[in-house]
């Protein structure tokens, strides 16, 4: 996304619509500040939740710029879920939705993230929010049956299953399980499916 398109997205976002100048200032502060501080930064978010974020992490920086990067879906989650509901996050990435569901709302969670490096960041975000007991993080992909599958591993929020014949320099083979096997008879109140790239 170009800088101009990003600024349009930020200023036209429903939570920024009446605060366009403040949203641009927040964007500029992040752009400058994140380059001055090496590594991940702890960002205070909704209802006492937090996340670790680095420059270039699209979904998380989108939450900094707008409050709720994917407003309709994240808003629905916040209003629909109740404490102790079971939330399942498929393709959790570093855990934005799981943080909202389990830290901001108080639900229990199961978060699937197949890419090992991203899974590590997911676990860090769960620990930051003291969710070790509420969220089960699973470093596997989901499919109809057990097996393995190849994923891209260097595309941030757009990592995906490699299609037959698709070439990729940075790929990883991950274990796959079925949702029924992983949930072991539990019934979730809400499932967030993996977004298509």
Contact partners, residue 124, CB within 8 Å, separation at least 6? 40, 52
In this structure, what token pair is assigned to residue 98?
């799981």
The predicted pLDDT at position 156 comes to 63
In this structure, what token pair is assigned to residue 51?
């996340």
Q: What is the mean pLDDT of each run of 10 residues along the chain (197 residues)?
A: 89 93 94 89 96 89 95 97 96 96 98 94 97 97 87 71 78 90 94 74
The predicted pLDDT at position 195 comes to 66
Q: What are the structural domains, with CATH classification, of the chain?
A: 3-192 (3.40.50)
Contact partners, residue 51, CB within 8 Å, separation at least 6? 42, 43, 45, 60, 63, 94, 95, 96, 99, 125, 128, 129
Assessment of whether the complete model's pTM goes beyond 0.85: yes
């Amino acid at each position: 996304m170009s800088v101009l398109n990003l600024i349009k997205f930020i200023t036209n976002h429903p939570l920024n619509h009446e605060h366009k100048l403040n949203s641009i200032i927040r964007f500029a502060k992040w752009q400058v500040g994140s380059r001055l501080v090496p590594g991940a930064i702890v960002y205070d978010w909704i209802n006492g939740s937090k996340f670790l974020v680095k420059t270039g992490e699209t979904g998380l920086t989108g939450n900094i710029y707008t409050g709720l990067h994917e407003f309709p879906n994240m808003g629905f989650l916040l209003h629909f879920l109740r404490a102790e509901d079971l939330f399942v996050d498929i393709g959790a990435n570093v855990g934005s939705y799981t943080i909202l569901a389990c830290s901001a709302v108080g639900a229990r969670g199961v978060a699937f993230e197949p890419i090992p490096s991203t899974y590590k960041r997911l676990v860090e975000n769960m620990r930051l929010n003291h969710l070790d007991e509420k969220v089960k993080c699973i470093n596997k992909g989901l499919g109809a049956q057990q097996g393995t599958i190849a994923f891209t591993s260097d595309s941030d929020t757009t990592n995906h299953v490699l299609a037959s014949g698709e070439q990729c320099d940075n790929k990883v083979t991950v274990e796959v399980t079925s949702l029924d096997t992983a949930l072991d008879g539990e019934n979730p109140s809400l499932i967030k499916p993996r977004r298509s790239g």
